[in-house]
Amino acid sequence: MALNPILEKIEKLRDEIELHNYNYYVLASNQISDFEYDQLVKELEKLEKENPQFITSDSPTQRVGKDLTKEFNPSVHKFPMLSLANTYNEEELIEFDRRVRDALPQGEKVEYVVEYKIDGVSISLTYDNGRFVKAATRGDGVTGEEVTANIKTIKSIPLKLKKVDNQKYNFDEIEVRGEVFMGIEDFEKMNRERSITGEKLFANPRNASAGSIKLLDPRIVAQRPLNIFAYYLLSSNRQFETHNENLLLLQKLGFNVNPEFALCGSISEAIEVIKKLEEKRYSLPYEIDGAVIKVNSLRQQSILGSIAKSPRWAVAFKYKAKQAFTKLNEITWQVGRTGAVTPVAELDPVLLAGSTISRATLHNYDEIIRKDIREGDVVVIEKGGDVIPKIVSVALEKRSENSVTATPPQTCPRCGSVLFRPEGEVAIYCENTECPDQIKGRLEHFASRGAMDIEGLGEALIGSLVDLNLIRTFADIYSLKEKREELISLERMGQKSVDNLLAAIEKSKTQPFHRVLFALGIRYVGSGAAKKIADQFSSIDELINASEESIEAVYDIGQSISSSIRKYFSDVHNIDIINRLKDSGLKFTAEKKETGDLKLLKKTFVLTGVLSKYSRDEASEKIIALGGKVTASVSKNTNYVVAGENAGSKLQKAQALNVQILNEEEFDKLLDRE
C-alpha cells in the first residue's frame, strides 16, 4: 500500500537529515552548508507540527526533549557490563596471553584485536527492531542508570540503524557498548566559554562527559560537545564469529567506530601495535589513557568467561602520563574578575604531549607550600588526564642553592591594594573593585553569551576600551553610542564593526531579569541561582531590600550566596551602577504572569523527600509558574510542605508547626485545581 504523501515526505526528510548527521559527526565530512541543513530540519519540524500523528521517537527532531521528570531510573543490564583489568608493562601482557592459552584447548591459535582505550564514560545503547530505545550507564556492572533522553542528544548515535546488505539487520534486539567522550578542541572551547561566564571549569574531558550525561535537562546536554565511539555489539542470536567482524558490522550499521583498531596474529604483534598507537597518542583529537587487547574469537571469549568484575578475554594496557622536566623561572600572580589572586608558574618552554608549555597553574599558595615549590627549581610537569598542565613535583636532587622560597603578595600585583584572605579559604583577594584586571574580567562576564550576550564585545576589545578609559563599568557600555567616532578610530574597528557592536549593545537590553542579574557578576551567583532568585523576587528593588534570611529561604540558595548578595547591594557604588543601567533600559523586573494563571499566588512551599513524578527543580518550576514561592526551610509562614519518599526533618518540623502536608497525589490535585 502506498504511503500517505505527507508521511512519505517526512520519512524522506528524516533519512536525509540522518545521512547528513552521519556524514558530519561520524565521517567528519560535511556535504551541505549549515544553512541548507537547518532548512531541512525546519521543514521537517513544520511538517511534524502540522501532522503530529506522524511524529516518532526516532525522528531527528526528537533528539532533545523536555527536562527529565525525576532522578534517573535504575536499568538492569541484559548482559553484565564489566570493567577491564589493567596491565602496565610487556611482562604483564605476556602473562595475560599465557593465561588465555592455558584456559583454551591445547594448540588453538589465538588472535587479538587492539584498540585505543578512550578516556570517556561507558554507555550501553539498546535497539529494538533497529530503533534506538534506551541508554544506560555502567553503574555497578549489573545495574546502571537510564539516561536515554541525554544520550539521544548525541548526533553521532544513530536513532535508526542503517540497512546491511540491503536487508534490515534481523536482530530483534541488540545492545551496543560505547564510550562517550569530548574532543580536546571542543572541550577547551567549552571551558573558555565557561570561564567567560564565570562558571566552574571542568578538569578534563572525561569529567565533563560524565557530568554532562547526568544532567537533568537534555536541552543543556545538547549544548555540550559530546561524541561516542562504539566498540561492542551484543545479541542473543549473534550472527558473526569474531570481534573484528563485530567492529566492522557496527560501522555498517551507522555507528562511529574508532578507526585505530588492528587484528593481530600473536601477543608479540599486539605489543608492537600498542607501541605504535602510543606514538600517535598526543596527535589525537581526543584523550586516551591506553590500549585494549581483546581475544578476537567470540567462541574463545565464551570459553574464557569472566571473573566477578572483568572478562578473562580482554585486558587494558595503561600508558604512563607524559611528563617533562623544566625550570620554573618565576611565580607570578594574576587577578580574576572576582578579585581572586592566583599563582602561575612561568616556565622555560618545553614540549609536552604535543604542545609547548610555558605556564602552569599553581592553584593557591597552600599548594606551593605543600609541594615546596621554589623559584629556580627544576620541576616535573604533567599533562595526564588533565588538559591543563600541572606541576607534579620538584626535582629536589637538581635544586640550586639560589632557589628562592615563594611568598604570597601582600598587595595586588595590578593595582597595589592590600590583599585579604577570608577565614577558612585558601584564596586571597583584591577587594578594590576598581582594579583594572577585575574591571576587564567583570566586563567580559557581563557581555558573555550566558549573560547579556553582546556579540563583538570580547576580551581583546574590552581590554582596549578599558586601557583607553572608554569604559570602566557595565553602565559605560550603554554610553558607547555617544563615542561612535572614537570607536571607529580604534585599530581593527571600522564603521560597520562599530555599528554592529552598537546594535548588539542595544539588542542586549531585551535580556530578561534573571540574565541581567547573572550578568552583574555577584560572587557565587551563577546562571542557575540567578534564575531561581529572579523567580522569587520580582524586581531588583525587592531583592535589594530583602534580608539575608529571606534570600537564603529560596530553594537551593545557601548561606554563601545570600551573604554575598547582601554584601554586593550594601555597596553604594554597585547601587549607582544599577540605577544607571535602569536608566539605560535594562530589565530589572521579572515579566508579569497573567493573573488567571496565578492559582498559588502568595503561597509558600517547601519540598522534601523524593517525588516519583517530578524532580525537585521541576516541582519548583510548576509552583513558581502558578505564582507560588519555594523556600528551603519550614517556618510558621510556610503554607504547604510537599513530602515525597524518605522525607526527613522538614516533615517533622512541619508536623510540629501544624503546616499542611501534601503527598504527591494531593500536590498534583493542587496544581490542577481550577
Residues with catalytic roles: 117
Output the DSSP codes for 550-562.
HHHTBTT--HHHH
Output the DSSP codes for 244-290.
HHHHHHHHHHT----S-EEEESSHHHHHHHHHHHHHTGGGSSB-EEE
- Segment (H or E) for 526: none
| Rounded Cα gap, residues 343 and 64, in angstroms | 41
The residue among 266, 295, 264, 311 whose CA lies nearest residue 277 is: 264
| Rounded Cα gap, residues 239 and 233, in angstroms | 11
**CB 485, CB 494: distance < 8 Å:** no
β-bridge mates for residue 332, sequence order: 344
β-bridge mates for residue 556, sequence order: none
| Rounded Cα gap, residues 304 and 177, in angstroms | 20
The residue among 297, 234, 238 whose CA lies nearest residue 103 is: 297
> Measuring CA to CA, how many Å separate 655 from each of 434, 550, 663?
51, 22, 13
| Rounded Cα gap, residues 98 and 92, in angstroms | 10
Three-class HEC string of 199-243 = CCCCCCHHHHHHHHHCCCCHHHHCCCCEEEEEEEEECCCCCCCEH
Length reported for the chain: 674
| Rounded Cα gap, residues 432 and 415, in angstroms | 8
**CB 323, CB 140: distance < 8 Å:** no
Please compute, for residue 272, the number of CA atoms within 13 A of its CA located in the half-sphere on the CB side.
7
276-299 burial, b at 16+ Cβ within 10 Å, e below that, comes to ebbeebeebebbbbbbbbbbbbbe
Three cell numbers written together for 377: 627549581
Under DSSP, the state recorded for 504 is H
Which 3 state secondary structure label does DSSP give 58?
coil
